[in-house]
Amino acid sequence: METFQLLSRGGVKFDKNRFKDDVRLFTVPRHLPNIKQKATKRPSKAKELPAELDFFKYARGGAPAKRKADASGHAHDEKRRKVDDEEESDAESSSDPPPPRHRVTAKGSNVPSPADSFGALKERYHLSSHILSNLSSNGFKHPTGIQSHGIPILLEGRDLAAISPTGTGKTLAYVLPLLHALRAPTPGGARAVILAPTKELAHQIHNECLRMAHGRKWRVVLFSKATAASLKDKNARDKVDVIVSTPLRLVAALQSGTLDLNNVRHLVLDEADRMLDAEFLTQVQEIVAACTHPEVQKAVFSATLPAGAEKIAMGMLRDPIRIVVGLKHVFILSLLDTPLPLIAQTLTYVSDESSKLPTLLQYLSQPYNPPVVIFVSSQPRATSLAEELIINSIPNVDCLHAGLTKKEREDAVARMRRGESWVMVSTEVMARGMDFKGVREVINYDFPTSVQSYIHRIGRTGRAGREGKAVTYFTNDDAPFLKSIANVILQSGSTVPEWILKLPKASKMKRKAMGKVQRGEFVDKARTIGRGDAIRKRDMIAGSKRRKEKAERGGRQEKGEGMEDE
Ligand SMILES: Nc1ncnc2c1ncn2[C@@H]1O[C@H](COP(=O)(O)OP(=O)(O)OP(=O)(O)O)[C@@H](O)[C@H]1O
């Protein structure tokens, strides 16, 4: 666009005649064909969103170019396919480096074709106009990669194991087909169950279901102590369509005989690798066994699915399709299939525990981008770090961990959603699935306990196509585990100091020990005062500051200064 046109669109009036010499300076000379050519060769780009608004430029789905499908949308004979489904880019014609290519790998028999738009889903599967209108009123215009591939698979009633990076819209990828399959509300008990590892995540998924179910009479229940009590009544239970829950709560109701899952046709495990780890596995197996309907469809979703968890998951699924969303250049190198290209990641050496707090305070004394999420390794450390930050006058500090009461946890999440928390100190409880769109930075104050934990923690930023930043502190004690994280950083496109890459590979035993570095309960060993003291101290500091300012104002008035401000 011509410079002066641009200015006039912003309301600026400019007399071109009067300033014709200046205008000439800004006019592109006609004898520079290259510049002209470039400007005209990219008409489609001009119509597109600016890069900073083009969310999902990496995760957006699309129909594969190389595949032929029959009218029913099925691949003819492929057992396994690999698809480059990033839309055609004009980058080759420019000097810009080509954008990262988005890759989806699907494995399984008779894989349905992806749908490159929500409209295509309507045409192929008669998706209800209610759901479509809810998509549009929530601003969801195009399916993401996992949605364009995963939704058709689920709509065709197939079992699915889906691996897609954090923040790429996995929730909608299972909520949408599930609601479509429910059709009209029917009595007889829950027909769908969604399991998540934390109350906070279950709550968030419940909200997403409600958003998509808006205008319909489906009863979507967030399973809690209170709902479990009200569902003891069979009449109430019969009216439920969807249950969203943590495993523990549901198992308690199953064991007490106040709930059965015989009518369930759809079972989803979100954060599947966590759900299938030692802590949850028995409960999850109990729930799976309670879903006795012969046609129950099962799906597992996660950003990470290590081999052990995948094996268990595949054992639970029937003739499953496995899809993996990742970036092409990363994918080839990656053992993890979980690139995080939108997050600028760095490692910061802090020598020992006592150096971490000063490093963080120094960081927060410079301009930073709130909200920031800070991860520590235990509940007492989360409380302790939040106290330290408050004492040091860092504004709007909050804390969230499983040791808080239900109300405290809910309030902390609500403050975060309202944008009132600038610095949120948390434990692994917030590492998975929590979607606070605005999070700009993640700081791993304590080194993550595993590669998966690293990926999920930093995935709280860089969501829905936005960019983010992640900083990880490491001490001498963390050094043996550094290389595993450095590899993820490297594969995601960020840089890592050469010396870290030259470190010897940690043995399997060492890697297992990764989460076991001993850390004290207080982030500042010297300090033993409690939270109440911290808050009192903060208020005292603020009070004394106010008094000092007032006294100074009074003094100036006496001297006759600053009258114009009064
Ligand atoms: N098609 C879409 N278009 C625009 N935004 C979308 C779309 N689908 C989902 N989103 C938004 O993207 C964000 C991330 O989605 P979601 O929480 O489902 O990610 P996820 O892949 O489950 O992440 P995690 O692995 O961390 O759980 C949400 O804010 C969601 O509303």
Instruction: Provide the H-helix boundaries in 379-519.
Output: 379-391, 406-417, 451-458, 482-491, 498-501, 508-512
Measuring CA to CA, which residue among 509, 506, 489 is closest to residue 497?
489
Q: What percent of the chain has pLDDT over 90?
A: 58
pLDDT score recorded for residue 18: 56
pLDDT tens-digit readout, 425-451: 999 999 999 999 789 999 999 999 899
Give the pairing of strands 441-444 and 468-475. parallel
Q: What integer is the mean pLDDT of 535-548?
A: 74
How high is the pLDDT of residue 7? 38
Residue nearest atom 13 in ligand 1 by C-alpha distance: 464
Higher-pLDDT residue of 99, 540: 540
The first and second tokens of residue 309, run together, are: 């968890």
| Residue 53 Cβ < 6 Å to ligand 1 | no
What is the rounded average pLDDT for all residues in the chain? Answer: 80
Q: Is residue 564's pLDDT more than 70?
A: no
Q: 74: which DSSP letter?
A: B
- Rounded to the nearest whole angstrom, what is the distance from the C-alpha of residue 464 to the centroid of ligand 1? 6
Judge if pTM exceeds 0.95.
no
Ligand 1 atom 9, closest CA: 169
User: Own/partner pairs for 41-47, CB < 8 Å, 24+ apart?
Assistant: 41/90, 41/93, 41/94, 42/90, 42/94, 44/90, 45/90
In tens, the pLDDT along 82-101 reads 443 433 333 333 344 443 44
Res 557: pLDDT: 57
Distance of alpha carbon 10 from alpha carbon 95, whole angstroms? 30
CA dist list (Å): 26 to 1, 374, 416, 425? 12, 47, 46, 50
**Residue for token digits 């996992």?**
146
Spatial separation of the C-alpha atoms in residues 336 and 16, rounded to whole Å: 58
Distance CA 314, CA 321 (A): 9
User: Over 60: is that where the pLDDT of 396 sits?
Assistant: yes
- Which tens digits make up the pLDDT trace of 452-500? 999 999 999 999 888 899 999 999 889 888 998 998 898 888 888 888 8
The CATH architecture assigned to 343-514 reads 3-Layer(aba) Sandwich (3.40)
**Better-predicted residue by pLDDT, 338 or 380:** 380
Q: Are 165 and 192 in contact (CB under 8 A)?
A: no
The DSSP H or E segment spanning 81 is strand 80-84
Ligand 1 pocket mutation, candidates 172, 174, 302, 442, criterion most atoms within 8 A of CB: 172
Sequence-separated (6 or more) residues with CB below 8 Å from residue 348: 359, 471, 472, 473, 474
Q: By alpha-carbon position, which residue is closest to atom 27 of ligand 1?
A: 433
* pLDDT number for residue 538: 65
CATH superfamily for domain 104-325: P-loop containing nucleotide triphosphate hydrolases (3.40.50.300)
Residue with tokens 């008409």: 43
Q: Is 61 in the pocket of ligand 1 (CB under 6 A)?
A: no
Q: Which two tokens stand for residue 426?
A: 């948390």
Q: Could you state, in order of their start, the residue ranges of all structural domains in the chain?
A: 104-325, 343-514
At residue 67, the pLDDT reads: 39
Summarize the confidence of residues 341-368 as an average pLDDT. Answer: 93
Distance CA(466)–CA(473), nearest Å, equals: 23
Mean pLDDT of 523-537: 66
Query: Which pLDDT belongs to residue 344?
Result: 93
Average pLDDT over residues 106-127: 95
Instruction: Tell me, yes or no, if the two domains 104-325 and 343-514 fold the same way.
Output: yes
Q: Measured from the CA of 143, which atom of ligand 1 is nearest?
A: 1
Give the ligand 1 atom nearest the CA of 146: 21
Point out the ligand 1 atom lying closest to the alpha carbon of residue 147: 1
pLDDT tens-digit readout, 121-168: 999 999 988 999 999 999 999 999 999 999 999 999 999 999 999 999
pLDDT band at 533 (very low <50, low <70, confident <90, very high): low
Question: Residue 146: its pLDDT value, please?
Answer: 94
Q: Is the CB of 166 under 6 A from ligand 1?
A: yes
pLDDT for the residue 384: 94
Length of the chain: 566
Residues in contact with 240: Cβ distance below 8 Å, sequence separation at least 6, in sequence order: 189, 190, 219, 221, 231
Least confident residue range of 42-46, 127-131, 389-393, 440-444 = 42-46
Would you say the CB of residue 433 lies under 6 angstroms from ligand 1?
Answer: yes
- Structure tokens that stand for 233 in this block: 């009544």
**Residue written as token pair 């006592």:** 354
Please give the helix or strand (H or E) that residue 424 lies within, else none: strand 423-426
Q: How far is CA 220 from the centre of its chain?
A: 23
At 419, list the tokens: 């944008």
Q: Where does the pLDDT of residue 552 fall: very low under 50, low under 70, confident under 90, or very high at 90 and above?
A: confident
Nearest CA to ligand 1 atom 3: 140
Strand, coil or helix: 187: coil
- Angle at the Cα of 420 (from 419 to 424), degrees rounded to 5? 90
3-class SS at 208? helix
Mutate to test the pocket of ligand 1, among 171, 432, 437, 453 (most ligand atoms within 8 A of CB): 171
DSSP assignment string, 265-313: -EEEESSHHHHTSTTTHHHHHHHHHH---TT-EEEEEES---HHHHHHH
DSSP 3-state of 434: coil
Q: Say if ligand 1 is within 6 A of residue 143 CB.
A: yes
What number is the average pLDDT over the span 508-530?
A: 72
- Atom of ligand 1 at shortest distance to CA of 138? 31
State the average pLDDT over residues 206-210: 97
Average pLDDT over residues 185-189: 84
* Amino acid type, 495: T
Instruction: Find the farthest-apart pair of alpha carbons in the chain and give their distance in angstroms, rounded.
Output: 91
- Whether the pLDDT of residue 109 is over 50: the answer is yes
- 61-82: pLDDT as tens digits: 443 333 344 444 454 334 444 4
- Measured CA to CA, the distance from residue 550 to residue 552 in angstroms comes to 5
Higher-scoring residue by pLDDT: 564, 535: 535
